[in-house]
Structure 1
Amino acid sequence: MKEKYPNKFMKEREERELAKTIIKQVQDSTQELEQEVEEVIRLGRYNEGGRRPMKVRMRSQVAMEEIMTRKGKLADDVEHKDVWIKRDINLEERKKGKVLRNEAKEKNKKRTEIEKKNLYWRVLDMRLKK
């Protein structure tokens, strides 16, 4: 996400509000998941006019799961079209995902012409699927 403020206090407040705004876009009208935001952290070093990912820590696992299941709603939001929501994964999970992606590439290369029209291999939820 693009950064606006080099001032630390204003930056933290603005980032928290931005995270809450995006969560409001994703949640149902009956939910108040933006109240579950515990901490918002920018990852990486500050670079004027640059973009860095944000890590948003939620108070409950249930709120995080609700957001993850509804993150597809952001695709319809024109204002936040360049925002993605992803799960925070550790090094071990990243290695496993890389192995699975490489396996999927190999299986996709070995498909016949008929299979190429009908199916492809991909990694979904840390599993290899057709």
Structure 2
Amino acid sequence: MKVTVIEVIKEKEYLVWDTVYKKKSFVIFGMKKKKNPNKFTRECELAKTVIKRVQDSTQELDQEMEEVIRLGRYSEGGKRPMKVRMIFQMAVEEIMARKGKLADDIEHKDIWIKRDMNLEEKEKEKVLRSEAKEKNKKRTEIEKKEFYWRVLDMRLKKWYLRKKEEVVEEARSDL
């Protein structure tokens, strides 16, 4: 049995490598390009500023960056995503857990972080997003004030705009 597993791993080495590699990576979207003649320094600086905004004051996750790659083709004035690979998977988990801090930051509110996904995961997320869009169209006016559907961690979730207690309190006051 052990020999068979090792043979399969050797045959599908790219799958194993891809899975491990993706667990140690994340993608930053919405970054504007800064003017710095050195490409490596420029991209590392951009990634480090985002990581510093997300990390706790006691952490130094920006020191654990291993590689930064710009994805897609260059276009004048375009915002290409950046793939960041970290040394440790735990660093990526910490960043993903705190990525919501960017939404509160005025300077970085147009930037968002997603985990690195393979083609199969991207397709699944695309289907879920279209399903969420469809469900959002079918909401009543009252439901539109209460919640919307969104994709979070590869699952379709109801995202409440207000606490349920506020909705109940408003309903009581209307009576």
User: TM-score scaled to structure 2, two decimals?
Assistant: 0.62
Question: 1-side partners of 2:78 and 2:140: how far apart?
Answer: 44
Q: Which amino acid aligns with 1:44?
A: G
Cα RMSD between the aligned structures? 2.3
The CA deviation at 1:113 is 5.4
Of 151, 154, 159, 1:126 maps to 154
Cα shift readout 1:62-118 (whole Å, capped 9, x = no counterpart): 100101111121223333333221212111111111222233334344445554544
Deviation digits for residues 34-59 of structure 1 (CA, Å, limit 9, x no counterpart)? 11100000112223443211111111
Alignment-derived partner of residue 96 in structure 1:
124
Query: Unaligned regions of 5+ residues in structure 2, if any?
Result: 1-30, 159-175
Q: How does 1:57-72 map to 2 (within 5 A)?
A: 57-72=85-100
Q: Distance in 1 between matches of 2:137 and 2:78?
A: 37
Q: Which moved more, 1:117-126 or 1:64-73?
A: 117-126
Of the three residues 80, 83, 88, the one matched with 1:52 is: 80
Aligned 1:24-43 pairs, distance under 5 A: 24-43=52-71
Secondary structure of the residue aligned to 1:41 is strand
TM-score, normalising length from structure 1?
A: 0.81
- Count of aligned positions: 128
CA distance in 1 between partners of 2:103 and 2:139 (Å) = 31
For 1:53 and 1:42, the matched residues in 2 are separated by: 6
From the CA coordinates, give the structure whose radius of gyration is larger: 2
Is 1:2 matched up with 2:10? no
SS at match of 2:114: coil
Provide the identity percentage. 77
Structure 1 residues not aligned, in runs of 5+: none
Structure with the bigger RCO (C-alpha within 8 Å, sep 6+) is: 2
Code of the residue aligned with 2:132 in structure 1: it is A
Q: 1:100 to 1:16 in 2, by over 3 A?
A: same
